[in-house]
A and B are shown apart, each in its own frame.
Chain A
């Protein structure tokens, strides 16, 4: 296994741990709450600054 593949495998394990940690921290609630409402910034409504 090359060095790159080892780094890739480590990143996947790290990413899985981060996802689990994020779920426990209830970050998903923030993602969900933002995603179910029309994002005014995305459609260009709001103040320029």
Chain B
């Protein structure tokens, strides 16, 4: 419940430009200089800040810069402090998927070979967010923000829908790019009803970065090996099917904390950890 409140507050604060929804315009104030930690399209009428993935592509694809210290620094700072806690607690698009998941019906877990799909977000990050904007440029030297253009369902749902509803001329301008994105957005919506947060797990490039940073972030899940009886109840409870008692720094763990209350020995703790306490498991290798 506490997480849902934080998620709702985060979604409201990052999309507080109510006027934009009413008028079909976007916020143009100085807060747009700053990237928000989660995935939130900057063309959403409510968005007060910039999308980190959109901004990264914008700077990489600009004719002036071919590396973005500012956006990369912000993403690294967010990730090194919080890791994927941002996905679980702050990301508005994550909340949206969780709301779809609340629609009653049969639910599925990504298991067995299907878990390999979670590796797809890494080539998405490298190819669509970095390589295409950097190297496929027009005659003026500008690269295309390929992730925003061909994949991002947040842009379709948070930006295209509200803007097109208030300005029909935008809707009349759509072509194949929109149809492609609409199919992906629809697949993400249907997928979210059946599977817990499929976009975050399979496609999200920000999740790929923060996931890697789960291993080094200050925010950690820790297992007290003296208390843990390896009963596996945490894994059964986990909607992402993570064996957190074996792998507390899993790149897939969004730090939702739902495993903590089901642990019969209270062996799982989480928070900003500066020091490792005796008896707490941290995997030794940087796998």
Contacts and interface: CB of A to CB of B under 8 A. Distances in A.
Interface of A: 1-5, 7-9, 11-12, 14-23, 25, 27-28, 30-32, 34-39, 41-48
B139 interface: no
B43 A42 contact: yes
A30 B43 CA distance: 15
A16 B73 contact: yes
Nearest to A21: B69
Given A11-B76, A19-B73, A22-B70, A41 B218 contact: no
A9 B159 CA distance: 36
B217 interface: yes
Interface in B96-132: none
A17 B73 CA distance: 8
Contacts of A8: 80, 213, 216-218
Nearest to B283: A4
A19 B32 contact: no
Contact of A44 (B70, B174, B217): B174
B68 interface: yes
A47 B42 contact: no
A45 B68 contact: no
B186 interface: no
Interface of B: 26-28, 30, 32-33, 35, 41-43, 49-51, 54-55, 58-59, 62, 64-65, 68-74, 76-77, 79-81, 144-145, 148-149, 152, 155-156, 159-160, 163-164, 170, 173-182, 213, 215-218, 249, 273-276, 282, 286
Contacts of A23: 70
Nearest to A43: B160
Contacts of A2: 276, 282
Given A31-B59, A31-B71, A36-B26, A12 B174 contact: no
Contacts of A31: 32-33, 35, 50, 55, 58-59, 70-71
A12 B43 contact: no
Contact of B164 (A1, A16, A43): A43
B174 A18 contact: no
Contacts of B286: 3-4, 7
Q: Pick the 6 closest A-B CB pairs, nearest first.
A: A22-B70, A18-B73, A44-B178, A42-B155, A22-B69, A19-B73
Contacts of B50: 31-32, 34-35
Given A22-B68, A30-B59, A31-B33, A42 B74 contact: no
A39 B170 contact: no
A5 B274 contact: yes
